[in-house]
Chains A and B, each alone.
Chain A
């Protein structure tokens, strides 16, 4: 090792404090000018943006509902016999909500993170990949998030219900005794018509 020298340029550094950097800013560039904006215009802009974000977040949250209806129709079409089509539909119906809810795991983690840091102890923070673009301090995303979760859980429930109607869930006694070997007998008897 050590044959080739390695070098790297870090472009990602966006720290505002010039003191943190060794190299001074180029002449004519002032960092402060970005922050010093017209406060009235910017507030208006931010409000509009927040509204738009909230609206979008609700839209995203409601998206699974269409999916749900679609799935319901497909399931009805697939019938209640087990074959390739119905199995495929059922499993896609199960998979979609699960994959959508996979963000929940991440959200929990970030919730824990927030909780432990006690930055915002009064609020739950669910950190969804879908809602990432709409994250804003001024937008309350809890409502859309809960709706999103509820709808996806509904989708999951629908999938499970379908699985049950297909008879693939062990909910009956028959599912548990179907391969139960016969009980052992205590007595043994033999004989017949004499030879």
Chain B
């Protein structure tokens, strides 16, 4: 019986898999989720009297969203695919949101209140062209009609069901249609464009049936360029390709008449190359030159007149018809720290409907776009609200001279994230404010106790939940004992740096980097990466940590670099450098100077290495390690990996002691006809590994091959680098490599036949896990490779180890040619992946879990034990005890182990793991369009009490026990005395 029970207990323990889920009331305690839409491209207001006021927006991240006009919250949001670029949106019949996307080939209608898709129709045509969407008041057979021009074809589409009522092709090869115009109240449509860049074409189409009524064309001596601006329903303005002559073309009643006006006639000084700003204001158009924005009015038959010339950054909105035959438009100009919003009627430049000055945060940069909407005030005059898109991609609603709400939509396009510690708590500073008084503390604990003893009423439970969620503890601005409170520093595509508090996700500071700002010397600055520049440990009280932002002036790899150092506590940019060299690689070195600034090596396009910071001390430190620093470069276009060592000082004519020449040491050239590099992966620099030994069954030991110089690389057949299904299984293979980047030695090479990318890989400790598609099995697969050092395997003598007579702790060199063995195994996996990461803990003792960003934009945790190459179908007793799971052909997906629980991180891009100070816990930050942050303990929080642990109950129990001991002691004393007397 006893044996039976032992066996039962044994199986119970061995079959126990940690289910790491959370209870419903734990949601939001340690995690937060923020939703964004990205930089708004187009916005349409919906402010009918009934229903909630909202604005529909399409963004550069291919999102269609409706926002609440009162508070800026998202009502609904749809993320279209990465190739489904939104070309135009509009609201039809006051209840449908119409979107034209994917190069004009998909037209969709969404229900405005709830965002459900009503219909979708695909519009194909003979050739690629500009896509134009036009909502009209036309009615054909009781259907309201949308006019869509896309792919060289004009379509009339029913609003109700998306049915194409008629279509008309414009197949002429060189025709570039610029505008589709439907004069209000008329039954015809004008299609205007250029043919062969020098001929103006006008088609008049019957709106009822698509019949061509008239076709006129006129030739022009020069060439047209770019956009045309519509100044009335029968007049357009265009610029010639030199940007110096303005053409006013009117096609009244089908007769084309044009007028040429040199720009220099309108302006005294030569303005240089001008471009037309797209707008649709009747009678007025704007051109933009290098120095100024010029507004020009069209009077009568092609006569032009300059009405205003502004030197500031000026943004114009589209025209808004406010009453019958009256249009208004908005202008936004900058003046110091204020912006001026002016709304003018289209027919009268000199009068203003509205003029407001609003104080604007300098960190938002310039206004990029403005959209206006009107409302009728109680005194029957027109009021205006304006939605503005700023340089940092944020979205603000202005009304009555104030910012009603703002959204930080720049966070939808994060490029890189790093973390920073918070300030150390100094005695007597700021704590008193946050800390609750004793009474409230006691009240809280009594409530908690009631909850534990199940005595709480529903109101109490709500109060407890509120207390837990709003715990002031987690959002303090100081460092905590467990290391949960940190700053997440994120660099966005707009060149803005945000610091988010991990406790509640609020923005602590944000800073638009001056170094990534457009300037004379740097025309197209882009941010590249973030690095931790200085992490003070010794002087943590009086020195602030800082981050290094690396950018580049332009998209090409040989553009000059920019560096900027930002204080992590305040967000102040205390130093910024415009480099004289390009930045191809940034290598943070494992050395710091006396002020704990990390040494960085920047490699430029000419393979010179530049050492930063440029101080003599850095040179001294670097000189001592000079011969041990190597670097490598992966050229994925040509399939070449090269390794370099550093040589002498730069041989250039400028004496620069911080610059070094490189010497090529090794190269691996892959045959371009059979292999193409698609992915590389390396170990994280800050990953801690607890031990070099892996204990296996029967007390045996294997030594891990742990090297920070390990590179994982995956190549596929060049044919198979396209989408899944584009090649047959026989033509497709996947080759994986493990390469030592110091010597260029290929430690392991393995071919997966009939497999193809995309490959997602993560390398940690001595293993790599990667995900790919198996064409033969028609399934996704995940493989694991573990690499062990065989040359240390003989270190098994207990006595030698006891007296320390072994070489396990002596420094190793890559040149010692370690003898390695690898073990690998593959499994099927149901999901395709967007990102993969691994949990990271401070000492690396806690077992690892993989964090998988699934195609459904969720983050799934998968125990590394499932990806153990030593799994077998029937593990022995000893192996089972060790925790080896019997082999199955596919990896399980446990629904409770979605760490994003019910939330989705739309457009998931990457998952970042940061170690907390508590060994059991990893901080996980997932970002894409949305942001998600949580704490995650792969083996549960074995080193701390749970958050809902009742200290009051513990205290009461202890007190009760002590009292009981005391009472029984007295009683026993008394009894003993009585016994003695007897």
Q: Are B585 and A177 in contact (CB under 8 A)?
A: no
How many residues in A have their beta carbons less than 8 Å from beta carbons of B?
Answer: 31
In the complex, what's the smallest C-beta–C-beta distance from A24 to chain B, in angstroms? 39
Given contacts A177-B693, A192-B585, are A81 and B10 in contact (CB under 8 A)? Answer: yes
Q: Are A174 and B690 in contact (CB under 8 A)?
A: no
Tell which of B628, B635, B709, B796 touches A173, judged by Cβ atoms closer than 8 Å: B796
- Tell me if A167 counts as interface (CB < 8 A to partner B): yes
Q: Are B693 and A195 in contact (CB under 8 A)?
A: no
Tell which of B2, B630, B692 touches A183, judged by Cβ atoms closer than 8 Å: B692
Distance A183 CA – B806 CA, assembled complex (angstroms): 12
Q: Are B692 and A188 in contact (CB under 8 A)?
A: no
In the complex, what's the smallest C-beta–C-beta distance from B818 to chain A, in angstroms? 11
When distances are taken between beta carbons in the complex, the residues of chain A under 8 Å from B528 are 195
Given contacts A79-B6, A177-B701, A185-B709, are A191 and B695 in contact (CB under 8 A)? Answer: no
Distance A97 CA – B881 CA, assembled complex (angstroms): 31
Q: Are A195 and B583 in contact (CB under 8 A)?
A: yes
Given contacts A173-B801, A188-B589, are A183 and B812 in contact (CB under 8 A)? Answer: yes
Given contacts A81-B10, A189-B709, are A173 and B585 in contact (CB under 8 A)? Answer: no
Q: Name the residue of chain B whose CB is nearest to the CB of A184.
A: B811
Distance A115 CA – B797 CA, assembled complex (angstroms): 44
- Tell me if A180 counts as interface (CB < 8 A to partner B): yes
Which B residues lie at the A interface, using CB under 8 A?
Answer: 2-3, 6, 9-10, 528-529, 550, 552, 557, 583-590, 601, 603, 605, 625, 628-636, 643, 680, 682, 689-693, 695, 699-701, 703-704, 706-709, 711, 741-742, 795-798, 801-802, 808-815, 881
Distance A193 CA – B636 CA, assembled complex (angstroms): 7
Distance A179 CA – B797 CA, assembled complex (angstroms): 16
Q: Are A187 and B10 in contact (CB under 8 A)?
A: no
Distance A179 CA – B881 CA, assembled complex (angstroms): 20
Distance A83 CA – B5 CA, assembled complex (angstroms): 13
Given contacts A79-B6, A173-B801, A191-B587, are A182 and B796 in contact (CB under 8 A)? Answer: no
Q: Are B2 and A185 in contact (CB under 8 A)?
A: no
When distances are taken between beta carbons in the complex, the residues of chain A under 8 Å from B636 are 193
Q: Are A177 and B709 in contact (CB under 8 A)?
A: no
When distances are taken between beta carbons in the complex, the residues of chain A under 8 Å from B625 are 188
- Tell me if A29 counts as interface (CB < 8 A to partner B): no
Given contacts A81-B10, A191-B632, A192-B634, are A183 and B810 in contact (CB under 8 A)? Answer: yes
- Tell me if A176 counts as interface (CB < 8 A to partner B): yes
Q: Are B699 and A195 in contact (CB under 8 A)?
A: no
Q: Are A81 and B881 in contact (CB under 8 A)?
A: yes
Q: Are B691 and A190 in contact (CB under 8 A)?
A: no
Q: Are A178 and B695 in contact (CB under 8 A)?
A: yes
Distance A191 CA – B644 CA, assembled complex (angstroms): 10
Q: Are A174 and B693 in contact (CB under 8 A)?
A: yes
New contact pairs (15) apart from A172-B700, A178-B695, A195-B557, CB-CB < 8 Å = A172-B701, A173-B797, A173-B801, A174-B695, A177-B692, A180-B691, A180-B692, A181-B690, A185-B708, A190-B631, A190-B632, A191-B585, A192-B682, A194-B584, A195-B584
Q: Name the residue of chain B whose CB is nearest to the CB of A194.
A: B584
- Tell me if A146 counts as interface (CB < 8 A to partner B): no
Residue-wise interface mask of A (155-183) relative to B, using a CB-CB cutoff of 8 A (1 in contact, 0 not): 00000000000010011111111111111
- Tell me if A186 counts as interface (CB < 8 A to partner B): yes
Distance A130 CA – B779 CA, assembled complex (angstroms): 76
Distance A48 CA – B634 CA, assembled complex (angstroms): 99
Q: Are B699 and A182 in contact (CB under 8 A)?
A: no
Q: Is the interface of B mostly helix, strand, loop or mixed?
A: mixed
Distance A79 CA – B6 CA, assembled complex (angstroms): 8
Q: Are A188 and B590 in contact (CB under 8 A)?
A: yes
Tell which of A175, A179, A180, A195 touches B585, judged by Cβ atoms closer than 8 Å: A195
In the complex, what's the smallest C-beta–C-beta distance from A4 to chain B, in angstroms? 24
Distance A49 CA – B797 CA, assembled complex (angstroms): 57
Q: Name the residue of chain A whose CB is nearest to the CB of B816.
A: A186
Q: Are A187 and B801 in contact (CB under 8 A)?
A: no
Most buried by B among A79, A83, A175, A180: A180
- Tell me if A77 counts as interface (CB < 8 A to partner B): yes
In the complex, what's the smallest C-beta–C-beta distance from B85 to chain A, in angstroms? 26
Distance A167 CA – B605 CA, assembled complex (angstroms): 58
Q: Name the residue of chain A whose CB is nearest to the CB of B7.
A: A79
Most buried by B among A79, A172, A193: A193
Q: Are B808 and A188 in contact (CB under 8 A)?
A: no
Tell which of B603, B700, B798 touches A176, judged by Cβ atoms closer than 8 Å: B798
When distances are taken between beta carbons in the complex, the residues of chain B under 8 Å from A183 are 692, 706, 808-812
Q: Are B6 and A176 in contact (CB under 8 A)?
A: no
Distance A77 CA – B7 CA, assembled complex (angstroms): 12
When distances are taken between beta carbons in the complex, the residues of chain B under 8 Å from A191 are 585, 587, 603, 631-634, 741
Most buried by A among B2, B634, B680, B798: B798
Q: Are B633 and A194 in contact (CB under 8 A)?
A: yes
Most buried by B among A81, A172, A191: A191
Distance A101 CA – B245 CA, assembled complex (angstroms): 113
Distance A99 CA – B446 CA, assembled complex (angstroms): 50
Distance A43 CA – B629 CA, assembled complex (angstroms): 96
When distances are taken between beta carbons in the complex, the residues of chain A under 8 Å from B811 are 183-186
Distance A163 CA – B576 CA, assembled complex (angstroms): 65
Q: Are A177 and B632 in contact (CB under 8 A)?
A: no
Distance A170 CA – B701 CA, assembled complex (angstroms): 13
Most buried by A among B6, B632, B711, B796: B6
When distances are taken between beta carbons in the complex, the residues of chain B under 8 Å from A185 are 707-709, 811-814
When distances are taken between beta carbons in the complex, the residues of chain A under 8 Å from B601 are 190
Q: Are B680 and A192 in contact (CB under 8 A)?
A: yes
Q: Are A172 and B798 in contact (CB under 8 A)?
A: yes
In the complex, what's the smallest C-beta–C-beta distance from A90 to chain B, in angstroms? 15
Sampled A-B contacts (17; CB under 8 Å)? A77-B2, A167-B699, A173-B699, A173-B795, A173-B801, A174-B701, A177-B808, A180-B691, A181-B809, A186-B811, A186-B812, A186-B814, A188-B590, A189-B708, A191-B632, A192-B711, A195-B550
Q: Are A182 and B692 in contact (CB under 8 A)?
A: yes
When distances are taken between beta carbons in the complex, the residues of chain A under 8 Å from B808 are 177, 180, 183
Q: Name the residue of chain A whose CB is nearest to the CB of B643.
A: A189
Q: Name the residue of chain A whose CB is nearest to the CB of B625.
A: A188
When distances are taken between beta carbons in the complex, the residues of chain A under 8 Å from B633 are 191-194
When distances are taken between beta carbons in the complex, the residues of chain A under 8 Å from B552 are 195
When distances are taken between beta carbons in the complex, the residues of chain A under 8 Å from B2 are 77
